[in-house]
């Protein structure tokens, strides 16, 4: 006998679970459709080359297919990279699309925490060139509306800007090639203490001094305070610039007079001044650059906040300088939403702007912003609520005599009237057992065919209000009324 | 740049396609729910050992995952074997379940014919012990109701019994270990000529004579005629039995008198008679056995037909002795449904009874019967019809002036009222271009914010009935009325 289990990190979803997941996905779909989204469906596996070099250090978690001849393939890791491939391949420049599907990660699973190797993603993205930040606002608006819809309590969307983090890293002197790795370390701050994150940052090439500086700055919660801190540093450099400015003329003279008759010594001296000035100017312009980047990012966050106010969801939004998002491909706004009463569950929606991903596949410039709903995390919160596993409204029971044909005719009439119904398919007529099945299934109308009533042309109908005998030809009408009353 | 395509045998489903598939699946789900089905969701990949030796010669088409350490896995080939594994693992003895999901086959793809390497299956199964044939009847009833729902024209469900085919093979003298292979050859009769199928049968170990006999018998369309042919042969053997019966007493005497004082010669003579009798008896009882099997299978088909009459779908059912179904695991009724106006598309639903599959995983006896809807084949028929790619009802257009905030407020009000709406997200105001977008998307209400009307506190609203100026505060009410009129 083969071993009776599912592969590591995967589970079977039983009827109650499956129905709940379906209802979560329906709510998401309804919101996406409300915003005019188009759905697409891409293959479960992609060419391995499509996925390579897109996920940074997470690439090692990609599930590959066996080489059985033909294409070398891998299971999709998310729905975003396949979407970028889709946009590039079909030369789409503008689209609002949603996609729901399973994605696969060879991660260490933690089923009880809702971390699986196979899980649903439910994505909405807007691509194309529009009024800046407007698409970002609509995406976040939808995220908030979806979270509110589940009535789980207060939800908060934290947001940040990748370019603001970049400016921070420039400010503390981290080389650009290390930034993505440091970003993915910072992103763990919601789950880990700063001490642990600091070790990871040092392992990834930060100095202790740099981690301290980062810790202090990312702790600031007020956006204008962040701006002030960046501009203040700029102010300090302004003094240096004045001082540099005095020597600049010397330097320029040197450049112009290279072939003049100054003594060797004089030229050397001027050259030294010149190179000192150049160094200072480079450092200064670097500073100016990251201060500019920071200011632009802050302006964008502010503009976004304005739009979110117009869309009436601003009360659920907070700036959070520690939010980074793990994946490499983000280039602008990033956000994550969670329920404040469920801090352990973590973020239940997340997303951001990724303007350069399509360019990895083609020459088209297709800026994108999108989000992914954490269906199984919402599921892990909602599964405590009582749900039904089926839609059955009426159970057609078997009495002492079997009366199979009569029961089949009745259940068939119910189906014809669009009423969800099941019949006892056996010949056993244990009343208690059948009622118990109906009760457990949440079925609240039971019709019995084949008792004494039958000789009088009647059937017995049981609801919460009691049992009554009704004429066979009137039973459908009675059932419809009973169902309407509820 | 990576190569811009999906793996062989897979495609991207664009919005129109995706929406159509979704609507097909919704119809199936509604019918399953009407019959009280529970949905489950099993992993996309299973342990390889779960799938091994379940699909006969098709096993070579299983997609395996790379061995990256840990479990050896493969993508599911259908939803039936995982369902049997589910029933065994969770010790379920009774269930009516449906499941919708992608399955994977490394077959030679033919995209234009709707044959993909990755495709949807949409399965409904009833497992458990009930009144015989009742569950089979309900499954076929649902299949017919679903096919009717799509309004594609006349649909026919052909049905047969695996045991009737088995009796046929026994009758023509095919060894039991070859039967599954011959079954899968016979199954190709709807797509191939008998000449080609005959070659395959001979390659699989039939004699030419046997293929001729099979060809003649499977051509019979009347069930009672099939019965007559089996019983007629039985009649011929009855004569032989009478003759054998005469000698049987001799034989029994021999057995009892082994140690008596008959001469060696006498004993030898009686032993010869005895072995001849045994041979004849064996052959006879074999004959009796397959004639019994045939009669029982025919009785079951007849009982099923009666139930289908009670469920009012009998007019869509035909007996077809050539129907075999490719897969090994069927043990009873098998069926396939198609649309008579689309013979090239082939069967769009298929299924049957498989009573022994769960026993391959555990000791429980859980008989099952089920069906699978060929979603992508129905899709290939329906895609010629006009469909919309999105649900958008209202487009909020941009006039000469941008009026971004006003447009955002209006579209937000539409969303709050549950009206599917999109706004122009750019600042360009080319009226023709925007109307063209709305027309192509099937949007039939266009509201323009920012024209001359604005100074008068109004907006312009366009529907098929023409353009009118309405007050800004009344526009939602006007839109609701316009949408109701359609």
Do B422 and A85 lie within an 8 Å CB cutoff? no
Express each pLDDT in A371-423 by its tens digit.
999 999 999 999 888 788 999 999 999 887 778 899 999 999 999 999 999 99
Helix (H) or strand (E) segment spanning residue B124: strand B118-127
Residue tagged 């059932």 (tokens): A479
DSSP track, A139-194: HHHHHHHHHHHTT-S-EEEEEEEHHHHHHHHHHHT--GGGHHHHHHHHGGGGTS-H
Write the ipTM: 0.86
Say yes or no: B431 contacts chain A, CB-CB below 8 A. Answer: no
The string of pLDDT tens digits covering residues B154-207 is 999 999 999 999 999 999 889 888 888 888 888 888 778 888 889 999 998 899
Confidence of residue B301 (pLDDT cuts 50, 70, 90): very high
Chain A contact for B34 (CB, 8 A cutoff): yes
Strand intervals (E) in B275-428: 317-319, 333-339, 349-353, 368-373, 394-398, 421-423
Edge-to-edge, what's the strand order for the sheet holding B445-449? B421-423, B394-398, B445-449, B458-463, B466-471
**pLDDT confidence bin for B84, thresholds 50/70/90:** very high
Residue A334 CA, distance from chain mean position: 11
Q: Helix A404-416 crosses helix B264-310 at what angle (to 10 degrees)?
A: 40
- Pick from B374, B345, B388: nearest CA to B14: B388
In the DSSP assignment, the letter for residue B312 is T
Task: Identify which of B3, B86, B421 has the shortest CB distance to residue A47.
Answer: B3
The fraction of chain B above a pLDDT of 70, given in percent, is: 92
Query: A388: distance to nearest CA of chain B, Å?
Result: 10
* Residue B38, annotated as binding a ligand: no
A128/B425 CB distance under 8 A: yes
Question: Phi, psi at residue A456, to the nearest 5°?
Answer: -95, 10
Chain A residue closest in CA terms to B404: A131
Tokens of B191: 């797509």
| Residue B268 binned pLDDT confidence (cut-offs 50, 70, 90) | confident
| Chain B residue with minimum CA distance to A136 | B425
- B 335-374: CB under 8 A from A: 360-362
- Choice between A415 and B426, residue whose per-residue pLDDT is larger: A415
Does A6 touch chain B if contact means CB atoms closer than 8 Å?
Answer: yes
What is the average pLDDT across B393-416?
90
Please name the residues in contact with B37: beta carbons below 8 A apart, sequence gap of 6 or more: A390, B96, B97, B98, B124
Q: Is any Cβ of chain B less than 8 angstroms from the Cβ of A389?
A: yes
Q: Would you say residue B47 has pLDDT above 90?
A: yes
pLDDT at B275: 73
**Is A3 within 8 Å of B65 when comparing Cβ atoms?**
no
CB contact B89 to A (< 8 Å):
yes
Strands (E), B313-417: 317-319, 333-339, 349-353, 368-373, 394-398
Is B80 one of the annotated binding-site residues?
yes
- What pLDDT is attached to residue A233? 65
**Nearest to B140, CA basis, from B25, B306, B387:** B306
Residues 399-428 of A with CB under 8 A from B: 404-405, 408-409, 412, 415, 418-422, 425-427
Task: Give mean pLDDT, residues B75-101.
Answer: 97
How many other C-beta atoms lie within 10 A of the C-beta of residue A206? Answer: 23
Q: What are the phi and psi torsion angles at A227 (to 5°)?
A: -60, -45
Q: How many angstroms away from the CA of B423 is the closest CA of chain A? A: 9
Give the whole-angstrom CA distance, residue A23 versus residue A26: 5
A332-352 core/surface letters (b: 16 or more CB in 10 A; e: else): bbbbbbbbeebeebbbbbbbb
B235/A contact by beta carbon, under 8 A? no
Query: Rounded to whole angstroms, how far apart are CA atoms A352 and A336?
Result: 9
Distance from CA of B336 to the nearest CA of A (A): 22
Strand arrangement of the beta sheet that strand A466-471 belongs to? A421-423, A394-398, A445-449, A458-463, A466-471
Q: What are the tokens at A145?
A: 């509306």
pLDDT digits (tens, 9 = 90+) for B198-246: 999 999 889 999 999 998 999 999 999 999 999 886 566 666 666 666 6
Does A43 sit within 8 Å of B4, measured CB to CB?
A: no
Q: Which residues of A touch B34 (CB under 8 A)?
A: 391, 415, 418-421
All residues at 6 or more sequence positions from B239 whose CB lies less than 8 Å from its CB, including other chains? none
Q: Which of A54, A85, A149, A415 to mutate to test the interface with B (most CBs of B within 10 A)?
A: A415
Contacts of residue A315, defined as CB under 8 A and 6 or more positions apart, other chains included, come to: none
Q: Which pair of structure tokens corresponds to residue B350? A: 């298929």
Q: B165: distance to nearest CA of chain A, Å?
A: 28
Residues 432-461 of B with CB under 8 A from A: 441
Question: What's the rounded Cα separation, in Å, for the pair B87 and A264?
Answer: 93
In this complex, do B361 and A312 lie within 8 Å of one another by their Cβ atoms?
no
**Binding-site residues of A for L-histidine, please?**
78-80, 105, 121, 125, 325, 329-330
Hey, are the CB atoms on A12 and B42 less than 8 Å from each other?
yes
Residue of chain A with shortest Cα separation from B135: A425
Residue B341's pLDDT is 93
Q: Was B290 annotated as part of a binding site?
A: no
Does B21 sit within 8 Å of A41, measured CB to CB? yes
Chain centre to alpha carbon of residue A158: 13
Q: Is B330 annotated as a binding residue?
A: yes
Decide if A2 and B128 are in contact by the 8 Å CB cutoff: no
User: Is there a contact between A43 and B118 if contact means CB atoms under 8 Å apart?
Assistant: yes
Per-residue pLDDT of chain A (486 residues; tens, 9 = 90+): 678 999 999 999 999 999 999 999 999 999 999 999 999 999 999 999 999 988 887 889 999 999 988 899 999 999 999 999 999 999 999 999 999 999 999 998 887 777 899 999 999 999 999 999 999 999 999 999 999 999 999 999 999 999 999 999 999 999 888 888 888 888 888 778 888 889 999 998 899 999 999 989 999 999 999 999 998 865 666 666 666 666 666 666 555 555 556 667 776 777 777 777 777 767 777 778 899 999 999 999 999 999 999 999 999 999 999 998 877 889 999 999 999 999 888 899 999 999 999 999 999 999 999 999 999 999 999 988 878 899 999 999 988 777 889 999 999 999 999 999 999 988 776 888 888 999 999 998 999 998 788 888 899 999 988 999 999 999 999 999 999 886
B98 is known to lie in a ligand binding site: no
pLDDT score, position A261: 60
Query: Which member of B39, B44, B86 has the closest CB to residue A19?
Result: B39
Q: Give A2's contacts in chain B (Cβ within 8 Å).
A: 47, 49-50, 52, 85, 360-361
Lookup: tokens for B274? 């005895």
Residue B119: strand pairing partners: B103
Pick from A2, A391, A441: CB nearest B33: A391
Which residue of chain B comes nearest to A106, CA vs CA?
Answer: B68
Contact A68 B64 (CB under 8 A): yes
Distance of CA B75 to the CA centre of its chain: 19
This prediction has a pTM of: 0.87
3-state class (DSSP) for residue B216: helix
Q: Which domains does chain B have, with CATH numbers?
A: 15-231+292-384 (3.30.930.10), 394-484 (3.40.50.800)
Whole-number pLDDT of residue A61: 93
């Amino acid at each position: 006998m083969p071993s009776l289990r599912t592969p590591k990190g995967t589970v079977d979803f039983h009827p109650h679970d499956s129905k709940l997941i379906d209802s979560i996905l329906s709510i998401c779909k309804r919101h996406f459709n409300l915003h005019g989204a188009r759905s697409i469906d891409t293959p479960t596996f992609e060419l391995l080359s499509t996925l390579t070099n897109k996920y940074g250090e997470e690439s090692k978690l990609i599930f590959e297919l066996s080489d059985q001849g033909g294409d070398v393939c891998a299971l999709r890791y998310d729905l975003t990279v396949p979407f970028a491939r889709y946009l590039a391949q079909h030369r789409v420049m503008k689209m609002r699309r949603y996609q729901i599907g399973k994605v696969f990660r060879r991660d260490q699973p933690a089923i009880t925490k809702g971390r699986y190797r196979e899980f649903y993603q439910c994505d909405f993205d807007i691509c194309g060139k529009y009024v800046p930040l407007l698409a970002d606002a609509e995406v976040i608006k939808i995220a908030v509306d979806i979270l509110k819809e589940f009535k789980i309590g207060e939800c908060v969307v934290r947001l940040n800007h990748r370019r603001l983090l970049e400016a921070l890293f420039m400010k503390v002197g981290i080389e650009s090639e290390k930034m993505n790795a440091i970003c993915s370390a910072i992103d763990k701050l919601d789950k880990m203490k700063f001490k642990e994150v600091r070790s990871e940052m040092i392992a990834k090439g930060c100095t202790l001094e740099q981690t301290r500086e980062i810790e202090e700055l990312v702790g600031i919660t007020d956006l204008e305070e962040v701006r002030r801190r960046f501009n203040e540093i700029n102010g300090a450099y302004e003094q240096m610039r004045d001082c540099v400015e005095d020597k600049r003329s010397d330097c320029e003279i040197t450049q112009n007079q290279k072939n003049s008759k100054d003594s060797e010594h004089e030229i050397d001296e001027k050259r030294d001044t010149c190179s000192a000035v150049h160094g200072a100017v480079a450092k200064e312009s670097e500073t100016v650059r990251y201060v500019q980047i920071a200011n632009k990012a802050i302006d964008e966050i502010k503009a976004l906040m304005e739009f979110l106010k117009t869309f009436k969801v601003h009360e659920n939004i907070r700036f959070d300088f520690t939010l980074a998002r793990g994946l490499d491909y983000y280039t602008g706004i990033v956000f994550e939403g969670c329920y404040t009463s469920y801090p352990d569950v973590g973020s239940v929606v997340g997303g951001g702007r990724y303007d350069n991903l399509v360019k990895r596949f083609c020459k088209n410039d297709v800026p994108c912003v999108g989000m992914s709903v954490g269906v199984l995390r919402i599921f892990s919160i909602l599964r405590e609520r009582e749900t039904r596993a089926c839609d059955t409204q009426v159970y057609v029971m078997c009495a002492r005599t079997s009366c199979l044909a009569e029961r089949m005719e009745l259940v068939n009439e119910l189906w014809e009237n669009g009423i969800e119904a099941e019949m006892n398919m056996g010949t056993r007529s244990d009343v208690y057992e059948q009622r118990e099945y109906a009760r457990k299934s949440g079925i609240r109308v039971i019709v019995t065919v084949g008792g004494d009533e039958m000789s009088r042309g009647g059937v017995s109908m049981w609801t919460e209000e009691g049992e009554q005998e009704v004429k066979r030809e009137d039973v459908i009408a009675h059932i419809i009324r009973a169902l309407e009353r509820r």
